[in-house]
Chains A and B, each alone.
Chain A
Amino acid sequence: MTAFYPPRPAKQRPLAAIEIALNVGPPVLLGAALAALYAWARSGLEEHRRFLMPGWSDLWTGAFASEPVRAELFRAAGVTAQIALTGLAITIPIGMLLGVLMFRWRFAERAAFPYLVALQSIPILAIIPLIQSLLGFGFVPKVLIVALFTFFAIPTTLLLGLKSLDPGIIDLFRLQGASWRTTLLKAGLPASLPALFAGLRISAGLAVIGAIVSELFFVSGDGGLGQMLINTKIDFQYEQMYAALIVSSAMSIGVYLFFSWLGRRLFSSWHDAGEA
């Protein structure tokens, strides 16, 4: 039996303002809901425990509006950034080198892969005391901890990217008698950039986390944000502790966004993921 299905006009494209509102609205709404939840949780605390959850105005006057606290936050963030970036400066080249070696020789892949997985599955927090005993409390052990946090994602994503290279392109290079090195530089590495950058974004975020965690265990010397977190807690300066937390998150997001931006610059013209 036939039935009549009426024509339907195509959906109108929403106005630009509405489209922006649809994009920005949800995160803003959720943010407002979380803020309300925070305020509600805070109001539920007994008066003498309310310092655990400083109010917005306290956070402003007690931390961000205070010149010495701002200077301390800035200095601590610098120290943390230095640890995180030094760690990344070590793991990115070494990780990439390992990724290339694993691609070049299946032997190297077979040898290294189980240890990479093992490295990823060891709870790094659990070996920090060992690192401490071995390397003391200076800069080096902290960088090592960052390296442990950030290493895994780099060789694995690069290897994945290299393996995704179109075999036809490899044949194309072979037909011209191109060396393995030429093929790697002109085809393999460019082709694996999108995958590698997915790994770099993960590692960059982990680098900041690793740096802060490392400091929690090494309360000595000119501390970074991690040390500030501990010290402000001990001193009952919870506004400053929250400020340090906020700055830590901002740094983590910042490095993530930096690598997203860099990736977009490098391959948005040819790769879909670059547009995200």
Chain B
Amino acid sequence: MSEQATAPPPAADAAAPALSFADLSLTFADGTHALAGINLAVRPGEFVSILGPSGCGKSTLLRVAAGLVDYSAGALNVDRAHLGFTFQDATLLPWRTVRRNVELLLELRGAPPAERRRIAQEKIALVGLSGFEEHHPKQLSGGMKMRASLARSLTLDPKIFLFDEPFGALDEVTRERLNDELLALYARQGFTALFVTHSIAEAAYLSSRVVVMSARPGRIVAEFAAPFPYPRRDEIRYSADFARLSGEVSAALRAASAT
């Protein structure tokens, strides 16, 4: 594995990034140039969204951060001991109940049954799925499955949370509701988030910073600060600042897709 998580000793100052890519590139074995010189440092507690044209490598960047894909050049610094990852699908095991699904990660890490059960119960309550512990995934709606998936990631108490378009398959209302719940979790747990999405509104609403990537090979071509204090409320969606930010991101995205 080409991670360098332990190479530089953790800096004492709080400003040291929780996750950083330095001139990171990735070329696949078949010659596909997926990522070209990614420079991105995510500060602890920051919520960074990544937007980009389809196939630009934003999901790949998350997978590199998580260690699912090796990179070819540059450097990556990340602490994977407390890493949360939610996928595009809920990726629940269909034969397991919600409770047993939420327990899975701790089970794989060898946590004792009583402890993982207690933690699972707590996280299920946190995402509002109490009462559905013994349901199987096929009995749940898309939104509920995603909540179960979030609860599962939360059992690890992630310090760094990677989201790969988790709400892309949901309807608008469910998506906005889950956005609010994710913000509540973010406020409560204080993780660092890297969030891949296709939705400009979602990126602007959730993040402290929005990053736009170019078409493949993916590079970071624009960055925007989202000037809205947390905790955020639904009203900001209809503010002038929000509209302006959305417009700027949209323009950057169109420019990135054109190249």
Chain A residues within CB distance 8 Å of chain B: 166, 168-169, 171-178, 182, 186-187, 190-191, 193, 267, 269-272
Contact = CB atoms under 8 A, between A and B. Distances in A.
Given A171-B68, A178-B108, A271 B83 contact: no
Given A168-B89, A169-B91, A270 B105 contact: no
Nearest to B67: A175
B62 to A, nearest CB: 11
A176 B91 CA distance: 14
Contact of B136 (A174, A177, A193, A269): A269
B105 A190 contact: no
Contacts of B136: 269-270
B85 A175 contact: yes
A168 B68 contact: no
Contacts, number: 54
Nearest to B84: A175
Contact of A176 (B63, B87, B96, B105): B105
Interface residues of B, number: 21
Given A171-B68, A174-B68, A270 B87 contact: no
Given A182-B108, A270-B136, A270-B137, A171 B87 contact: yes
A190 B93 contact: yes
B87 A168 contact: yes
B138 interface: yes
Contacts of B93: 169, 186-187, 190-191
A176 B89 contact: no
Contacts of B85: 171-172, 175
B244 to A, nearest CB: 36
Contacts of B96: 270
B66 A166 contact: no
A193 to B, nearest CB: 8
Contacts of A173: 108
Interface in B70-107: 83, 85, 87-89, 91, 93-96, 104-105
B109 interface: yes
Nearest to A166: B91
B135 to A, nearest CB: 10
A193 B96 CA distance: 14
22 contacts: A166-B89, A168-B88, A168-B91, A169-B91, A171-B87, A172-B85, A172-B105, A175-B67, A175-B83, A176-B108, A177-B109, A186-B104, A186-B108, A187-B93, A191-B94, A191-B95, A270-B95, A270-B96, A270-B136, A270-B137, A271-B95, A272-B138
Interface in B127-142: 136-138
B66 A175 contact: yes
Nearest to B164: A168
Given A175-B68, A176-B108, A190 B95 contact: yes
Nearest to A193: B95
A191 B96 CA distance: 11
Contacts of A269: 95, 136
Given A168-B89, A168-B91, A269-B95, 9 more contacts: A175-B66, A175-B85, A176-B105, A177-B109, A186-B93, A191-B93, A193-B95, A270-B94, A270-B95
